[in-house]
Amino acid sequence: MKILVAPLNWGLGHATRSIPIIRHYLAQGDEVVLGGDGESILLLKQTFPDLRVIDLPSLELRYTLDQQQRGFYFRALWKLIRFTIADHYYLRKALAIEHFDLIISDNRFGFFSHQVRSVYITHQLYPILPQRLRLFQPLSRAVHACIYKRYDEIWVPDYDDTDNNLSGALSHGHRFDKKVKYIGPLSRFTFSEGISTPNPSNLKYPIVAVLSGLEPQRTLFEQELLERFRENTTPVLIVRGKIGGPRCKTSVGSVTMIPYISDSELLLLLLQAEKIIARSGYTTIMDLKTLDLLAKAELHPTPGQSEQEYLATHIASRCKSKQIVN
């Protein structure tokens, strides 16, 4: 079977949660082709250097400096419409050149075909708009319902359990189409025997911060953490979430920063850490849940992103996370 996998380039989460899916099909002997743009596709290229890549259009969104993201959603809407049309056009061009048996789109609205079985991955069947935009919530739901109709299946990376789940009201508590399938949480991390019991006396970085997300909020969060730990004597590692450049470490006092590290390196650091600081993105939550590390996580929602604000509160209530709502 020949499969085209295309995650949205919005932070790194859509790409990293595609990794276990890609591994699954490769293990079955299937041919996988990657589609995407920006840092997301760079990450997948690093993880799967032997796979072919189809370049796709970029959404090119940036958050504002405003904590409430006033105006961001209206500007983003027009870009999203143009991006969806372009994405669908690029897919049609690709299908005119070669055949695929399955298309897997992680949150790329227009990446479907009526000629090829098409799957859409999302943890937001029921998106929550910011409070000031709740008037448009019915319209948002109608638009998403229209998008889902274009796909043969909707895969939700969560448990099919109203009480025990990670996405809460984003994907539970409502009546959904039969094409919706709960496939369980997805994580890039895999365990090996013996690495889950680190020696506390060998802790190199008791505090590990993993950054991600759109600019400029990623950089602002990095600066906030640097200021917070500037005078700290406890070693802190900040994984900046910057793909593609040299992996040069820099230090500011007791804080060490590195653009990006491999999954195996990050796994060990997270298991050994006493505290983990990260955005409350859904992929981060799935990774921490898989590693049973939510209890020592400090989750910071991206300012103005209602989905992350909801997830931070939901996880704090369900998993005893040390979440902070900015």
Tell me which fold the domain 2-182 belongs to: Rossmann fold (3.40.50)
Question: In degrees rounded to 5, what are phi and psi of residue 106?
Answer: -100, 95
pLDDT (tens place) for every residue of the chain, 326 residues total? 999 999 999 889 999 999 999 999 999 999 999 999 999 999 999 999 999 999 999 877 655 555 544 555 666 777 888 889 999 999 999 999 999 999 999 999 999 999 999 999 999 999 888 777 777 788 888 888 889 999 999 999 999 998 899 999 999 977 777 899 999 999 999 765 445 555 555 678 999 999 988 888 899 999 999 999 988 899 999 999 988 777 789 998 999 999 999 999 999 999 999 999 999 999 999 999 999 999 999 999 998 788 999 999 999 887 655 555 54
Domain ranges of the chain: 2-182, 200-319
Buried b (16+ CB within 10 A) or exposed e, 74-101: eebeeebeebbeebbebbeebeeeeebe
CB burial class (10 A; 0-12, 13-18, 19+) of residue 175?
Answer: exposed
Strand order in the sheet with 153-156: 53-55, 31-36, 2-7, 102-106, 117-121, 153-156, 180-182
CA dihedral 66, 71, 75, 81 (to 10 degrees): 110
Q: Read off the amino acid at residue 191.
A: F
Closest to 189 measured CA to CA, from 318, 88, 292: 292
Tell me which fold the domain 200-319 belongs to: Rossmann fold (3.40.50)
- The reply to whether 2-182 and 200-319 are identical in fold is yes
